[in-house]
Structure 1
Amino acid sequence: MVSHNRRRLGLAAFMMLALAGGVQAQTAMPGVLRVTAIPDEAPTELARKFAPLGKYLEAKLGMKVEWTPVTDYAAAVETVVNRKVDLAWFGGFTFVQANVRSGGKMIPLVQREEDERFRSVFITDAHSGIAKLEDLKGKTLSFGSASSTSGHLMPRSFLLAAKINPDADLKRVSFSGAHDATIAAVAGGKVDAGALNISVWEKFVAEKKVDTNQVRVFFTTPAYYDYNWTVHADMPADLRQKILDAFLALDANTPQGKEILGLQRATRFVPTKAENYAGIRAAAENAGLLK
């Protein structure tokens, strides 16, 4: 009888362990990969850019991929830190913010080759008389989002390096919320100048969405590291590797790769690491923007 009871207890314990293992496996390998991005462009544009990439990732990973839009940059940071989403397109500054908030739990997987030498541009009305950074003194300027690397942090950093304090030396500083909105603010005469991501500016020029006879670039910053695709360190290593491999496999010589890379404004994706963003963190701390 004792032996029989022991066998029953052993079987029950085995069943409990098996069930627990099943739950762990389900948590480790979710059926849905939730993806978000900082809203540096209009929501419809972000969704359009992601659609073919999402389908590609579904095929490569063998799981459903779900687009999860957020309202602002801070929300993008919080959703990843709190594991509400699994994969996020961050700017360099939002990656740094998320990494600090999570206690170093963010892992940047890949960046576009272009993100190794990213730049910002300052634009103005062609008839404003602004020709250099120093000419901004006493003028109005629009950044993008307060948490934008290329639309705020790095432009502010280069202004400070030129001995220009935006908050003291300019007539007014405003935040448009997104790069395309900054272009619209300058083109519409709402501000004298604006600072934004060079990639969005070049896209608008190429698509003739901005008249370069009316709005022009008067300063381009030195290069710095910027955007990346980031995951939480708690993601299972095998899934993390599959995502990395999927991005690295994108090839502009294939129809699918050409479409996806074109929408992402990328030549190709390359591996990246947290150390690449040490300069961004230093710039944020120097500008008093990292809390």
Structure 2
Amino acid sequence: MSFLPRTVTGVALAVVLAAQAHAEFKLGERYSDADGDLVADIPADAADQIDPSTLIFAYTPVEDPAVYADVWSEFLDHMAEVTGKKVQFFPVQSNAAQIEAMRAGRLHVAGFNTGSNPLAVACAGFRPFAMMAAEDGSFGYEMEIITHPESGIATVDDIKGGQMAFTSETSNSGFKAPSAILKADFDMEAGRDFEPVFSGKHDNSILGVANKDYPAAAIANSVKSRMIEREVVTEDQLKVIYTSQTFPTTGYGVAHNLTPELQKDIREAFFSFNWSGTGLEEEFGKNGEEKFIEISFQDDWSVIRTIDEANGVSYDCE
């Protein structure tokens, strides 16, 4: 089963840039959306709902999953207390594997990254409801195109004729947004104007640029900030040549077929969690995030669906 946008013959990309008619976002055939909010409804028949004794949680693999097992430990303990369930951290290795796990019923609660949220909603029945934010409710991150100071690259146009790293085809800041922006604002296409390579994760791209393995890369600046704070890289190893508009961050939610009561308890766990002194505060406070706020996939992910349309992305949920 493939959740990636279709591949273009002869080009090492997984999108057709502005070459296809824009299709309206819709869910896979196994899901219903009677209320029109663009997310899967909870099954009406109780026989189709599940109430597992152990909840499996996964955080989007933007960096090495091992980094986050301890970061999430206090929150998962809180979720266990609120729901009365055991809660287990699942270290997924890729966005596609995370989507497949939820679609197959092996993943119940998750944070899907910005770009893979529409795929997870359409193909895995993901119901996002929360996002991290600052105390004042502000949220988001920017896509940056970075290089290293000795690359000879001063502007985006200087990437032409060389190589540029992306993370994965499902990443908004690591692939979808830069692909659309490079096409629309700079008339640059991967395969024609530069050689695209895929690092797999944002930390790989950032380390690759810092260590001069890649001359340039598209990354999420929230990941870069946390890596600088942890002293994995230093600011003087990286040079920013482009910064995008602000995008929503990782969306948190549940599998559509959990019982309504369990979904309500999980929501309560997110919004009642006290970040003070926890791993979440230590790690995500580096980006100024201090709490979870309620979100709407229909509204808050509108810009991401527009980027997908601009890239001609189509979803294969079969």
Corresponding residue for residue 110 of structure 1: 130
Task: Say if 1:138 and 1:171, in contact at 8 Å, map to a contact too.
Answer: yes
Matches within 5 A, 1:47-196: 47-102=69-124, 105-113=125-133, 116-196=139-219
Change (3 A) 1:56 1:28: same
Corresponding residue for residue 261 of structure 2: 238
How far, CA to CA, are the matches of 1:217 and 1:288 in structure 2?
A: 28
Q: Are residues 1:201 and 2:221 paired?
A: no
Task: Say if 1:149 and 1:226, in contact at 8 Å, map to a contact too.
Answer: no
How far, CA to CA, are the matches of 1:284 and 1:194 in structure 2?
A: 20
Matching residue within 45, 58, 73 for 2:67: 45
Change (3 A) 1:133 1:139: same
Corresponding residue for residue 278 of structure 1: 302
CA deviations 1:112-139 (Å, max 9, x no partner) are: 1268432111111112232222222222
Change (3 A) 1:216 1:169: same
SS in 2 for 1:34: strand
Corresponding residue for residue 20 of structure 1: none
Matches within 5 A, 1:8-27: none
Corresponding residue for residue 13 of structure 1: none
SS in 2 for 1:89: strand
Corresponding residue for residue 36 of structure 2: none
How far, CA to CA, are the matches of 1:196 and 1:139 in structure 2?
A: 18
Q: Offset at 1:89? A: 1.0
Q: Are residues 1:223 and 2:243 paired?
A: no
Name structure 2 gaps, 5 residues minimum: 1-45
Task: Say if 2:226 and 2:283, in contact at 8 Å, map to a contact too.
Answer: no
Change (3 A) 1:98 1:26: closer
Which structure exhibits the higher relative contact order, with contacts defined as CA atoms closer than 8 Å and separated by 6 or more residues? 2
Q: Offset at 1:169? A: 4.3
SS in 2 for 1:56: helix
Q: Give the TM-score, by structure 1 length.
A: 0.82
Change (3 A) 1:204 1:69: closer
Provide the alpha-carbon RMSD of the alignment: 2.2
Q: Offset at 1:42? A: 0.8
How far, CA to CA, are the matches of 1:245 and 1:195 in structure 2?
A: 35
How far, CA to CA, are the matches of 2:49 and 2:239 in structure 1?
A: 51
Structure (1 or 2) with the larger CA radius of gyration: 1
Q: Give the TM-score, by structure 2 length.
A: 0.76
Structure with a larger share of its residues in helix: 1
Task: Say if 2:112 and 2:120, in contact at 8 Å, map to a contact too.
Answer: no
How far, CA to CA, are the matches of 1:107 and 1:35 in structure 2?
A: 14
Q: Are residues 1:261 and 2:285 paired?
A: no
Change (3 A) 1:245 1:100: same
CA deviations 1:129-171 (Å, max 9, x no partner) are: 3222222222211111221122111222222221333314433
User: Percent identity at matched positions?
Assistant: 24
Moved more, 62-71 or 48-57: 48-57
